[in-house]
Amino acid sequence: MIDFEELRNAYFKVKREFPFEGYISDVKCQKWKKIIQLISEEYPVGSKILSIGAGPCDFEALLSTIGYNVSAIDDLKDQWHVIGKNRERIIKFASNFKIDLIIESAGQSILEPNHFDVVLILDVIEHLHNSPREILNYGISLLKPGGTIIIETPNAVSLFNRVKVLFGKNNHINCSFFYWNIGDFRSHIREYTKTELIEIIKIHSINNIKVNMVDSIDLESIPDLLQINHILKKVLSYLYKCATLYPTFKQSIIISGKKPNNWKQTEISLIKFKKLYPHIEKYNIELEDDNTIIQKIING
C-alpha cells in the first residue's frame, strides 16, 4: 500500500511542476486516491501501467512519482493542446516525470500484447463518437492475463445531473459550447450509468468486477452552475453531501476487473445489432449476407 504522506508529497510536487496553472484541482483527489488504492492493493511500485487517453499526463505523473513504470498514449489534439507550445510543454512535462508518452491515437500504436499489469482508461469513453468496443479490445489486449483494467467516467445519473434537469437545465454538454465548437468535437458525447458499464465489461469477459462511486465535484460551484441565489449555498452543499451518501448519486464511476487467461476480443455482431436496429433486417431488400452488410456499413 502507498503511504498517505508519500502520496500527499507526490501530489504537491506534480501540481507545483505542472505547466498549466489551475488545471489540477483538489477535487480530483478523491478519484485519484481511489484509483491509486485499487492499484497499490495488488501491484507494487515498479509495476507496468499504461494510461490510454492520458491528455497532459497529470495523473500519470503522480503514478510515476510514487514509483510505478508508466506509459501513456494520447494524440494531443484537443483544441487547447495545439495552441502555441502547449504540446511541447506536455511532452517535456511527461519526460521530466519519466513517462513513456506515445503521441498517437489509441489503437494505432503497436504495443506488445499481454505486457502491462494495469491499463487505465480514465475520462475517455464519454468522449468517443463510436462504440467503446474497439478501445476496450485494444486496452485489454495489452494487459497480462490476470492484469487489471480500470475505467473511470462521469455518472450519467448523478445527483448533479438530475438536479440540473429538475431546474430545467440540459444534463448534456452546453448547447452554445457545442454550437460554437471549432474542429472535431472532443468533449462528452455519451455518459454512462453503473449498470451500463458493468454490462459492457462483462461483454468483454472481464471478471472480478469492482465498482466504486466517487464524488469529483466542487460543491461550492453547484449554486453558480445552477444559477441559484448565493444564500442557498451552504444549505445546498449540506443537502448534496447527505444525498450522495447514496452511491448512485455520486459524480463519477470507477469500474475495474481482471483479464481472464482465455480472453478473446469481442467481435462485431450484426446479429445483435439487428435486434437493436431493425431497419437492417426490414430493408435488406436484396437479401445480402451479413459479411457484405458489415463491410458496406464500415466502408460507407
Domain holding 260: CATH number? 3.40.50.150
- In angstroms, the CA 237 to CA 91 distance is 38
- Contact status, residue 39 vs residue 83, Cβ threshold 8 Å: no
**What confidence tier does 244 reach under pLDDT thresholds 50, 70, 90?**
confident
- Asked if residue 164 belongs to a domain, the reply is no
What pLDDT does residue 195 have? 97
Q: Indicate the pairing of strand 252-258 with strand 207-214.
A: antiparallel
Instruction: Specify whether 192 is located in the same domain as 292.
Output: no
- In angstroms, the CA 120 to CA 58 distance is 13
Whole-Å CA distances, 40 to 9, 24, 215:
17, 22, 21
pTM comes to: 0.92
Instruction: Specify whether 278 is located in the same domain as 143.
Output: no
CA 73 to chain centre: 13
Reply yes or no on whether the pLDDT at 163 is more than 90.
no
- In angstroms, the CA 219 to CA 237 distance is 6
Instruction: Specify whether 289 is located in the same domain as 261.
Output: no
Instruction: Specify whether 62 is located in the same domain as 209.
Output: yes
Instruction: Specify whether 203 is located in the same domain as 296.
Output: no
* Parent domain of 139: 4-156+185-218+250-267
Instruction: Specify whether 120 is located in the same domain as 20.
Output: yes
- Contact status, residue 70 vs residue 63, Cβ threshold 8 Å: yes
**What confidence tier does 3 reach under pLDDT thresholds 50, 70, 90?**
confident
- In angstroms, the CA 41 to CA 63 distance is 14
Q: In what order do the strands lie in the sheet with 252-258?
A: 100-102, 69-73, 48-52, 116-122, 143-154, 252-258, 207-214
Instruction: Return the percentage of the chain with pLDDT > 70, whole number.
Output: 93
Instruction: Specify whether 191 is located in the same domain as 298.
Output: no
How many helices and strands in the chain, by DSSP H and E?
13, 7
Instruction: Specify whether 276 is located in the same domain as 131.
Output: no
Q: Which of 41-55, 196-210, 223-237, 282-296 has the lowest mean pLDDT?
A: 223-237
In this predicted model, which residue has the larger pLDDT, 266 or 110?
266
Instruction: Specify whether 152 is located in the same domain as 278.
Output: no
Instruction: Specify whether 296 is located in the same domain as 259.
Output: no
Residue range 80-117, pLDDT digits in tens: 999 999 999 999 999 999 999 999 998 777 899 999 99
- Contact status, residue 78 vs residue 56, Cβ threshold 8 Å: no
- Asked if residue 243 belongs to a domain, the reply is no
- Asked if residue 244 belongs to a domain, the reply is no
Rounded to an integer, the average pLDDT of 174-189 is 95
Report the domain count for the chain: 2
DSSP 145: E
- Asked if residue 237 belongs to a domain, the reply is no
Instruction: Specify whether 275 is located in the same domain as 261.
Output: no
- Asked if residue 141 belongs to a domain, the reply is yes
- In angstroms, the CA 80 to CA 89 distance is 12
- Asked if residue 161 belongs to a domain, the reply is no
What pLDDT does residue 223 have? 47
Q: For 111-115, which contacts have Cβ atoms below 8 Å and span 24 or more sequence positions? A: 111/50, 111/71, 111/142, 112/142, 113/141, 113/142, 114/141, 114/142, 114/143, 114/144, 114/145, 115/48, 115/142, 115/143, 115/144
Residue range 209-223, pLDDT digits in tens: 999 999 866 555 544
Rounded to an integer, the average pLDDT of 247-274 is 96
- Asked if residue 227 belongs to a domain, the reply is no
Instruction: Specify whether 71 is located in the same domain as 208.
Output: yes
- Asked if residue 44 belongs to a domain, the reply is yes
